Chains A and B, each alone.
Chain A
Amino acid sequence: MQMRYVLGGEQRAFAISDSDDLAELCAEAEGYLRREHPELADREYLTEQVADALLNSLAVDDEEVDLGQLA
């Protein structure tokens, strides 16, 4: 599954597994973002943003998840 987001004005993307467990997908995506971007490592409400994006995209059968603007 593809995740898209914007950071520093740049559109980026990464892939996560095809798990059918939303909690797993959320943890996987959040873990990737915190690892790859030190500026997000301490962001308190990143989980909320990822969970919201997962529900918004997947509830309407989107193939990709748009995380929106992260910074």
Chain B
Amino acid sequence: MASSGVHVRTSVHVSARAFTYLVNEINRVFLEAIQSSDLDPSDFVANQKVIENGLRTWMTLRQLEVAYLEIYDPRSDEVRTRVDLAIEFRDTGDEHYRTEIERVRSELGKSGKFAGCRYRVVVTTTPGAAPVQGWSDTTLRDVSHLSRYDIGEVIGTARAGALLSILR
């Protein structure tokens, strides 16, 4: 019984650390994308707490499906590029934390600069996801004019990973 209790506690602690790491790294990737696009990160930074609260809540509940950074031209409302991080939940035993930030930077660098554009963070969740302060329902803008590039997993932990796709 004692060893079983230790195992359970360790496992849940690994999950908590993994989800915390993943949320921090999603924020890091989005910030990289904003900066590499020559956009002002101050809106992102000002809303970082709200963004983190949403991601943390939906990660904990395994309700987060995809986190998107949508960069659009406010004059035409057309999406210029979109960074997608699709969440894949898993249960591997080995505790690890990995972000392929150089690969992320290299791929983001191919998208170009978007001075004068605006951005927003959007997520898709499973049906019935918990409400989070500061978040509201929305619809993703049309991206049918863009091509999708699937890069693969760029953030990895024992309990979940994030797969990067870039639409440009």
Q: Residues of A at under 8 Å CB distance from B?
A: 1, 18-23, 25-26, 44-45, 47-48, 51-52, 54-55, 57-59, 61, 63
Contact of B60 among A44, A51, A61 (CB under 8 A): A51
B131 A51 Cβ-Cβ under 8 A: no
From DSSP, what is the main secondary structure of chain A's interface residues?
Answer: helix
Q: Distance (Å) between the CB of A23 and the closest chain B CB?
A: 5
* Distance in angstroms between the alpha carbons of A57 and B16 in the assembled complex: 8
A19 partner residues in chain B, CB cutoff 8 A: 8, 12
* Distance in angstroms between the alpha carbons of A18 and B61 in the assembled complex: 16
Question: Does B124 have its Cβ within 8 Å of any Cβ on chain A?
Answer: no
Contact of A54 among B8, B60, B133 (CB under 8 A): B60
Contacts A47-B131, A59-B13 hold; do A22 and B19 have CB atoms under 8 A apart?
yes
Interface of chain B residues 3 through 21 with chain A (CB within 8 A): 5, 8-9, 11-13, 15-17, 19-20
Question: Does B130 have its Cβ within 8 Å of any Cβ on chain A?
Answer: yes
With a 10 A CB-CB cut-off, give which of B9, B16, B17, B20 has the most chain A CB atoms.
B16
Question: Does B36 have its Cβ within 8 Å of any Cβ on chain A?
Answer: no
Look across to chain B and name the residue whose beta carbon is closest to the beta carbon of A63.
B9
Contacts A44-B131, A51-B130 hold; do A59 and B60 have CB atoms under 8 A apart?
no
B82 partner residues in chain A, CB cutoff 8 A: none
A51 B57 Cβ-Cβ under 8 A: yes
A51 partner residues in chain B, CB cutoff 8 A: 56-57, 60-61, 130
Question: Does B53 have its Cβ within 8 Å of any Cβ on chain A?
Answer: yes
Q: Distance (Å) between the CB of B133 and the closest chain A CB?
A: 5
Look across to chain B and name the residue whose beta carbon is closest to the beta carbon of A46.
B130
* Distance in angstroms between the alpha carbons of A20 and B146 in the assembled complex: 41
A45 partner residues in chain B, CB cutoff 8 A: 131-133
Contacts A48-B53, A59-B13 hold; do A23 and B61 have CB atoms under 8 A apart?
yes
* Distance in angstroms between the alpha carbons of A55 and B12 in the assembled complex: 10
* Distance in angstroms between the alpha carbons of A59 and B13 in the assembled complex: 6
A48 B132 Cβ-Cβ under 8 A: yes
Type the 1/0 row for B114-145, where 1 means its CB is closer than 8 Å to any CB of A: 00000000000000001111000000000000
Interface of chain B residues 31 through 61 with chain A (CB within 8 A): 53, 56-57, 60-61
B130 A55 Cβ-Cβ under 8 A: no
